[in-house]
Amino acid sequence: MKQTIYIGADHAGWELKEALEDYLKEKEYRVVDMGNENLVNGDDYPDFGYAVAKRVATDENAHGIVICGNAQGICIVANKVKGIRAATGFNKEVASSARTDDNSNILCLPGRHLEVKEAKQIVDAWLNTEFSGEERHKRRLQRVHEIENQEFGL
C-alpha cells in the first residue's frame, strides 16, 4: 500500500471528493475521509480543511487533499495549521510546481471549476512530483518555518 492521503471537502467539493477517494483507492493509496461523509448543503469548509491539516501535520509521511468551491477558503484554513504548506492546484503544472518548489503537503482543489478527469490528472501530477531539494527552495522554506515560529525578523 502507498502512502496515506487525508481528504476532505464541503458541499461544493463533495462530489469531486467522492470520485477522487475512489480513484486513489484504486491506485492503492490509503485514503482517510475526513468529511463530510454525506452531502450537506451549507456545511462549512473550515471544518474539513482544518481536520485534514491537523492530520497531515502530525503524519509526516501523509499528504492531504481538500476541496471547496474555489479552493481558496479551504486553502487559507489549512495553512493556519503549523507545518502545513497547502497550495491551490488548478492545473497540472501549478500542482507540480507546488511540490517541486514549495514541497506542499496539501493540495487544494476548486470543486466548482474542475471536471473529475481533470482533477485526477492534477492529483496524479501532484502526487508523482517530488520536492526538488534545490538550495534556494530549501532556504525559502526555512524562512517560512522561521516566520511560522515568529523567529524571522523583517
Shortest CA distance to 114 belongs to which of 15, 29, 46, 36? 15
CA angle 139, 144, 148 (to 5 degrees): 145
Whole-angstrom Cα distance, residue 61 to residue 119?
22
Q: For residues 88-96, give the mean pLDDT.
A: 96
Verify whether residue 75 is a known catalytic residue: no
Q: What is the 8-class DSSP label of residue 35?
A: S
Span 32-41, average pLDDT: 93
Query: What crossing angle do the helices spanning 14-26 and 116-127 adopt, rounded to 10°?
Result: 50
CB neighbour list of residue 73: distance below 8 Å, 6 or more residues apart = 45, 46, 49
Instruction: Give the mean model confidence (pLDDT) for residues 45-52.
Output: 97
Residue 70 preceded by cis peptide, ω within 30? no
pLDDT in tens, 10-34: 999 999 999 999 999 999 999 999 9
Q: Return the amino acid letter for 154.
A: L
pLDDT of 73 > 70? The answer is: yes
Looking at the chain, how many residues does it have? Answer: 154
Mean pLDDT confidence for 39-43: 91
Which set of grid coordinates corresponds to residue 84?
A: 502545513
Spans of all domains in the chain? 4-148
> What are the φ/ψ torsions at residue 16 (nearest 5 degrees)?
-65, -40
Q: Is the pLDDT of residue 50 over 60?
A: yes
pLDDT tops 60 at residue 153: no
Catalytic residue, chosen from 34, 53, 56, 68, is 68
Closest by CA to 33, choosing from 10, 12, 7, is 7
Name the CATH architecture for the domain at 4-148.
3-Layer(aba) Sandwich (3.40)
The reply to whether the predicted model has a pTM over 0.75 is yes
Q: So what's the pLDDT on residue 151? A: 61
